[in-house]
Chain A
Amino acid sequence: MNLISPILSDESILFRNDQIFTVLAVLGIIFAGIAVYLLIMERKVRKLEKIAKELRERNNEQRQGTKDQAKENREGK
């Protein structure tokens, strides 16, 4: 038995029934979903990186602060 897809004719069922718009709509929704997901991830990652940077700077300040204090103590003596 040789079953070949019924779409193998000159006419395109897809365009004839305007099913093309359904297909495009579905694809568009999937694409929009992926795009939204990626953009939200980008935003989260940027926030994460900002937090990381702030923590680091705070650490550096603290370290600087204790270093200065140690220096003062030594000079004070």
Chain B
Amino acid sequence: MRTKEILSLLYREFLLEWKQKYAFNGLLLYVVSMVFVLSLAFGGSIPPKTWNIIFWITMLFVAINAVAKSFMSENRGITLYLYSLASPFSIIVAKWIYNCLLMLAFGFITYILFLFFSPVETGNAGHYLLVVGLACPGFATALTLVSAIAASAENKATLLAILSFPLTIPLLLTAISAGRKAIENQPVSDSASLILFLLLFIVIIATVSFILFPFLWRE
């Protein structure tokens, strides 16, 4: 396992982001605006079921924007040179880890922001955060390979948007369903099968992505 390669690629991602910061800040602004507009539209108090649903739809849009950048903002020259040195497996794993961490961060941020703008009375925070903690990496996993696919095409932005929606529906539905159970204060054991599904989803789709990515990379 080329751990060193993966770690150095991962480090490079963080470094790039730290130097420019514009992707993270852009996403932050995006999330704040969305949550703000939604809370205004609902007039401050949102019923729990609806809260859950708009939370996850917001996460969906954040995910698409966040993970989109992973393959599409590569400028050709230096990147190609660097990547000719590393194996495609390391590249995809590093991107995947980075996207998972990014999505986790934004999941948590969105959660805090939603609670800030439109608090909800009911709900088991631990349970909900467990769902968030599993579904956000799920989004990252599902969308990383899609971003790679869309990056190889011409009209990248539209393609990414169109491809992402059908492919994230199972994840979205599971997250909404599990989140609903959490917000209605039901015990964690109730949503055990859904949580197991989220876990399996990440494992299976990540594996499939790692296997398929090298085929995309042979340029």
Classify A-B as touching or not with yes or no (CB < 8 A).
Answer: no
